[in-house]
């Protein structure tokens, strides 16, 4: 019987969604180290999660650090076979600077959610860098950092939405997930989710987003919008569950019959908890594409391309989508 060589991987994580993906991409022939940068999390909650993780997983080690500096780059470049970084926007300078530091690594990139495809269309600086990259490649033959050999693969949900010149490096993210039941069970234990649902009820989960935090609308407008969504769904006799985005800092002060889930876990984990959701709703969140519910409503898929959100009647859009499903 041949010896199985263990691949040593490093995942640099800045959110609970990153941690989830790092675990899902680990398998029996990998030794993974998940580095969590503390300033991006609720530190006390993260410390508890790391303690649980190091007890639950035998082939994954969780580490908490304050910052990932240049000295650590050099150390880790020699220590690991593969290094994974989660990118929000690969054409932004702050993202590109991360993998500039790895000169000789087998470097891999994983997208940070699917909504950044729409952000790309809106962000002028991103477009400017992208166009400059293409022109530079055409005129001088100089490769973009993404095309250099040290960047081996880029794991994404929608390869078809990326530039053609990158297609030979693109891999569909969920095709590399470890879907073993044991892994999924351990993930639920890691995040220690406390759910108290009525099993007999018709359930609808509403996903929020940091729309005021990111400057798309005023906080008061955002709070009232989500409250209106919840009130409409309650009238349809649903048990409503609110799942806040980890960066949504608003306080909604909802009625006691609405279940508020912790924001300190990725919503994808609920897929492994055998909860039957009749309906899931978001304004424009990428979680809708990855969440298991019988029906789904994405109220405004083109949200990031809209200049003035105060002119949009999102509740009317919700009613229209709801009626198409149930009437």
Last-in-domain residue among 137, 154, 189: 189
Query: Sorting pLDDT into bands at 50, 70 and 90, what band is 160?
Result: confident
* Secondary structure letter of residue 267 according to DSSP: G
Residue 1 lies in a domain: no
Please choose, from the candidates 195, 231, 181, 226, the residue with its C-alpha nearest in 3D space to the C-alpha of residue 208: 226
Query: Sorting pLDDT into bands at 50, 70 and 90, what band is 53?
Result: very high
Query: Sorting pLDDT into bands at 50, 70 and 90, what band is 119?
Result: very low
Residue 141 lies in a domain: yes
| Same domain assignment for residues 290 and 247 | yes
Please choose, from the candidates 110, 111, 106, 112, the residue with its C-alpha nearest in 3D space to the C-alpha of residue 151: 106
Residue 290 lies in a domain: yes
| Same domain assignment for residues 71 and 16 | yes
Please choose, from the candidates 124, 112, 89, 309, the residue with its C-alpha nearest in 3D space to the C-alpha of residue 216: 309
Return the number of other C-beta atoms located less than 10 Å from residue 24's C-beta.
18
* Secondary structure letter of residue 264 according to DSSP: S
Query: Sorting pLDDT into bands at 50, 70 and 90, what band is 92?
Result: low
| Same domain assignment for residues 163 and 205 | no
The pTM of the full predicted model, rounded to 2 decimals, is 0.85
d(CA 260, CA 138): 52
- Indicate which CATH number applies to the domain containing 103: 3.40.50
| Same domain assignment for residues 146 and 171 | yes
- Count Cβ neighbours within 10 Å for each residue of 288-303 and write b for 16 or more, e otherwise: bebbebeebbbbbeeb
DSSP secondary structure letters along 170-223: EEEGGGG----HHHHHHHHHHHT------TTS-EEEEE---TTTTTSS-HHHHH
Query: Sorting pLDDT into bands at 50, 70 and 90, what band is 305?
Result: confident
| Same domain assignment for residues 181 and 209 | no
What percent of the chain is predicted at pLDDT more than 90? Answer: 41
Whole-Å CA distances, 44 to 64, 151, 210, 261: 11, 34, 22, 18
What per-residue confidence (pLDDT) applies to 161?
76
Return the number of other C-beta atoms located less than 10 Å from residue 137's C-beta.
14
| Same domain assignment for residues 22 and 70 | yes
Can you read off the two tokens belonging to residue 131? Answer: 């166009």
- Which of 38-42, 87-91, 136-140, 293-297 is the least confident region? 136-140
| Same domain assignment for residues 79 and 169 | yes
What per-residue confidence (pLDDT) applies to 137?
52
| Same domain assignment for residues 22 and 148 | yes
Residue 2 lies in a domain: no
Last-in-domain residue among 172, 189, 206: 189
- Pairing status of strand 259-261 against strand 170-172: unpaired
Which residues sit opposite 280 in a β-bridge?
205, 296
| Same domain assignment for residues 132 and 64 | yes
Last-in-domain residue among 171, 189, 207: 189
Which residues sit opposite 95 in a β-bridge?
none
Please write the tens of the pLDDT for every residue from 18-39: 999 999 998 867 888 888 877 7
As a whole number, mean pLDDT of residues 214-228 equals 94
Give me the domain span that covers residue 177.
7-189
Query: Sorting pLDDT into bands at 50, 70 and 90, what band is 158?
Result: confident
| Same domain assignment for residues 123 and 203 | no
- Indicate which CATH number applies to the domain containing 262: 3.40.50.11110
| Same domain assignment for residues 155 and 233 | no
What per-residue confidence (pLDDT) applies to 210?
92
Residue 257 lies in a domain: yes
- Name the average pLDDT for the chain: 82
What percent of the chain is predicted at pLDDT more than 70? Answer: 78
What per-residue confidence (pLDDT) applies to 21?
93
- Which of 61-75, 103-117, 250-264, 311-325 is the least confident region? 103-117
* Secondary structure letter of residue 14 according to DSSP: S
For 327, half-sphere exposure in the C-beta direction (CA atoms, 13 angstrom radius) is: 7
* Secondary structure letter of residue 240 according to DSSP: E
Extended strands (E) in the chain: 7-13, 30-37, 60-65, 82-87, 107-111, 151-156, 170-172, 203-207, 239-243, 259-261, 279-282, 295-298
- Which of 14-23, 249-258, 304-313 is the least confident region? 304-313
In the chain, how many domains are there?
A: 2
As a whole number, mean pLDDT of residues 311-323 equals 95
d(CA 112, CA 154): 11
């Amino acid at each position: 019987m041949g010896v199985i060589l263990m691949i040593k991987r490093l995942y640099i994580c800045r959110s609970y969604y990153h941690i989830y993906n790092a675990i899902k991409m680990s398998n029996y022939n990998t030794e993974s180290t998940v580095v969590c940068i503390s300033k991006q999390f609720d530190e006390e909650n993260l410390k508890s999660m790391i303690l649980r993780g190091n007890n639950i997983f035998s082939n994954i080690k969780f580490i908490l650090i304050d910052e990932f500096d240049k000295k650590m780059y050099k150390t880790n470049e020699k220590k690991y076979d593969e290094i994974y970084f989660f990118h929000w926007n690969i054409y932004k300078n702050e993202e590109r600077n991360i993998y500039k530091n790895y000169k000789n690594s087998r470097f891999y990139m994983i997208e940070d959610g699917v909504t950044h495809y729409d952000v790309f269309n809106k962000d002028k600086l991103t477009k400017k860098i992208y166009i400059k990259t293409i022109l530079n490649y055409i005129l001088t033959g100089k490769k973009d950092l993404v095309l250099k050999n040290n960047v081996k693969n880029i794991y994404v949900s929608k390869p078809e939405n990326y530039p053609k010149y990158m297609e030979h490096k693109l891999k569909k993210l969920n095709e590399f997930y470890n879907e073993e039941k044991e892994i999924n069970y351990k993930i639920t234990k890691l995040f220690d989710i406390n759910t108290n649902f009525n099993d007999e009820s018709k359930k609808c989960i509403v996903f929020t987003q940091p729309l005021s935090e990111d400057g798309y609308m005023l906080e008061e407008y955002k709070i009232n919008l989500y409250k209106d969504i919840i009130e409409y769904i309650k009238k349809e006799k649903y048990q409503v569950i609110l799942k806040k985005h980890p960066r949504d800092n608003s306080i909604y002060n909802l009625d006691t019959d609405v279940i508020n889930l912790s924001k300190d876990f990725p919503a994808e984990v609920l897929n492994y908890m055998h909860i039957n959701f009749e309906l899931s709703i978001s304004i424009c969140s990428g979680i809708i594409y990855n969440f298991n519910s019988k029906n789904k409503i994405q109220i405004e898929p083109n949200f990031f391309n809209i200049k003035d959100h105060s002119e949009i009647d999102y509740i009317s859009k919700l009613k229209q989508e709801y009626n198409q499903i149930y009437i």
